[in-house]
Structure 1
Amino acid sequence: MRKIIATAILLISAIYVGYAGSIASVQSGDWNDPATWGGAVPGTGDDVTVSHDVTINSSLVVNSLTFGQAYYPNPDIGTLVIGSNSIVTVTTGETNLNRSGNVLTVEEGSSLVKTSGDFKVSAQATVAINGGVEVQNGDFTVSGGNNSTLIVAESGSLAVSGEFTYAHSNQTIDILGNVTVGSMKASGGSGTTFNIGSTATFTITNALTITTTQSFLVNGDFNIGSVSVTGGSPIFEIGEGGSMNVFGNFDLASSGGLDISAGSGTVSVGGDMNIAGGASANVDGTLAVDGNLSIESDGNRITGSGSVSATTADCPGDDCGIGDEDEVTSAPAPAPEPEDPSLPVELMSFVLSADQNSVSITWETATEINNDRFNVYRSDDGEDFELIYTVDGHGTTNDIQRYGYTDYPGLSGVYFYQLEQVDYDGKNEFFNVKQVAFGTASQTQNLTIYPVPLSANEDFYVSYPETNEVVTAKIYDLSGSLSLALTAERQQNRIRFMSAELGLQSGIYIVQIQVGQNITTQKIRLQ
C-alpha cells in the first residue's frame, strides 16, 4: 500500500512540474482556453511553444516563447496573434520563429516585450508588427534561411537594444513605422530589398556594417551613427522626399553605390565621406558632407545634376565630378543636429522591480545633451497616466548617469510606468511604457472557488485582496461545446462571479479565472 501511495505522489509531482514548466499548444484556439494547451493555460514562469494558430486578447507574462510545428495529434504550423490592447512580456530565453510558415502578428495597440534574450526570424517565417515589439537586452536577427519577412506597419514600432542583423537571400524587410536599433549588420546572400517607406523613421544608434550585396530603398528618414561598406555591391537609393542622415563617417567602398535619383532626396553626412574601390554616386538631389569628401579615383567621381557640398574635398585632379573642387567646397553643409537620432539622451536602461510594499524605478543614460529633467508617469490601465516624480538631468555629459525613484502605489495590482525626458528648450521625448505587478506575488494560492458544493441557481466566490487588477472568467462544459463569460463583481477581500444568471443545468463544468497575471482552472459541480 505504501509503494502505491509513493508511486502516486511521484506521478502527481511529475505532472505538476510539467504544468509549471514547459507547455506546448495541442490545438488551435484562444490562449486562455485550457483546450488549446490540453488543460494547463501557460502564465508566469512557463516556457511556451506555439505550434498551432493561437490568439491572445489579454496581458500576460511568460518565461520564454518559441514557435514550432505540430505533427500529432493536430498537425499545424505555429502562428500567434497578439490582439489589440494586450501586452505580452517574455522574461528570458530566445524567441525563434524557425519553422516555415511560422507567423507572429502584433496588432495595433498591443505589444510584445522581451526583457532578456534574442529574437530570431528564420526559415520563411513572418513577423508583422502593427503595434510594438521591444527587445530590451538582446539582438534581432532575420536569418537562418531564405524568404523570411519582417513588416513594421505605419502604426508599428520596433526597438532593439542590441544589433539588428539580416542575412541569407531574398528576405523581405518593409519598414513603414518607427524602428530604433543599437547597431545593424547586413550580410549573407543577395536579393534582399530593405524598404524604408515614406512614413517611416529608421534609426541606427551606432554603426551600419554591410558585407554583401543589398538594396536600400529610402523614401522616409534613415538615421545612422556611421556607415561602413566592406564587401558586396550595396545600393542606397534615396527616393522622392527620402532622407539619409549619417551622423559620423560614410565609408562607401567595395563596389556599392549611392543613388539620389529624386530631386527632393537628401543625404547629409556629419563626418567624412569616402567613395573608393568600385563604388560610385549619382546625385540628382542633395549630398551635403560636413567633413571631408574623398574621391579615390576617376572612376569614383560623382555624376548627376544635383547639388554636392562639403567643407573640404580631396578629388583626383581637383575634379569631384559635379563641378570642380572649388564648387564643391564653396557651399559647406551644416552638420546634422547632434540631438538626432538618439540624442539629447541615449537611454541605456529603464527597469522596474516590485515587492509587496513598493515599486523601484531605475534608469541609466550613456550620454546627455542639454537635458533639463526627467518626468516619471504612472497608470493603472496603460492609457491614462499621471505625473508622480520629477528629477533634474545632468545637462550635457558623456558619462553614464544613474537615476532612481521608489513608488508606493498603495493598492496592489499591475501598474504601467513611462519616462519622459525634457530639454532646456522644452523639447521632450517619451520612452516606451513598462509594466510591473505590485504586491500580487503571493495571491495565486487564493484563487479557490467557494461554496462547495454549489447550486445551479447561486453565485460563487473566490477570496482575493482588493487590487486594481482586471478580472475575467469563463465557464465551459466538459465537451467544450459551451463557453460562456462570467460577470465578475469586486467586493471587499473577495470576488463574486454571477453564475446564477447563466441558467446552467446541473452537472460538472470547468471554470477559468484570471486576476491580473494570476490564472486558475478548476472543476465545479452544480447541483
Structure 2
Amino acid sequence: MGTTDFAYNTTYLVFVKYTINTSGADECKLWVFNSGVPVDETAAGTPEVLNSSTNGQDIIDAIALRQGAQSYKVSVDGIRVSTQWVDLVVPVELTSFTAITDNNNVLLNWSTATETNNSGFIVERKSTNSDWQSITFVNGKGTVTQAQHYSYMDKNLTEGKYYYRLKQVDFNGSFEYSNIVEAVISAPAKFELSQNYPNPFNPSTKISFSVPLSGNVKLSVYNLLGQEVQNLVNGFVEAGNHTINFDAKNLNSGIYLYKLEANGFVQTRKMTMIK
C-alpha cells in the first residue's frame, strides 16, 4: 500500500489499471496525480498502490476506493473506463457555463475543474436567423488540476435571442463542444438618454442611450453657445441599448451639452470636461 499523505480540499486525478490473468494472479495498480497528466503508463512512474491477488480469474473480481476515516469526505466523479490509457484522460472538465444579459450585452462565465493540454476556448455564437460563428478566442491554462474561471462579454447586441457554445481546443488540434446556453436581448421600454460616465472626464467618456423602436437617431455634443462641436450618431439605429465613446481631447475644458433626438423624442444632459 502507498504511504503518501494527501491534502484536504484538493482535486486529484486517480488512475486505476486492472490486468486480468486467467492463469495467475490479477494485478491492480493505482496512480494519483495532483498536477499534470502523463501520456502513458511508462511516464506515470511507480504506482501509489500495487496489488496482486485472486488467481485464475477471467473477469474483474473487485475494485474499491475508500477513505480510511469518517471525519472527512472523499468525493469521486468523472469516472471513465477504457482499455487504452490515452482514452482515460479528460482533456477539460467543464463544470459550469452560463450566459447573463446586461442591457444589450451578454456576459459569459464558465469554469473548469481540471484541464489537460488545453490550448483554449473558441467562443461561438448564433442567432435565430444565422449559423454558428466564432467571435473570440480565450486562452486556456494548459494542464492544471485546480479549478479555473473564465469570462467574456459579448457587447452591443441588437434585440433578439442568441445561443452560445464553447469549442475547447487542445494543443494537438483536437476539440470538443460544450453544451449550448442562450440569452435574450429585449428592447428597452422607453427612450432614454443616460448620464455620461465618468463625469467629469478627461479626455473621454461614455454616453449611453436607449431606443425602444428602430429608426433614425441623432446624438450630438454642443457648447454652451448652442454650437454643435461633434456629432456622435446620425443615422439608422436598431432598437436596443447603445453606448458611444466620446473623445474630447481636441476640446477645451468646460461644460458641454449632449442631445438625443429619436422618433420625436428629445433629451439633453450636461457633462464636464476637465483637463
User: Which TM bucket (shorter chain)?
Assistant: 0.3 to 0.5
- Answer with 1 or 2: which has the greater Rg: 2
Larger relative contact order (Cα-Cα within 8 Å, sequence gap ≥ 6): 2
TM-score between the two structures when normalised by the length of structure 1: 0.23
Query: Which is helix-richer, 1 or 2?
Result: 1
Normalised TM-score (structure 2): 0.43
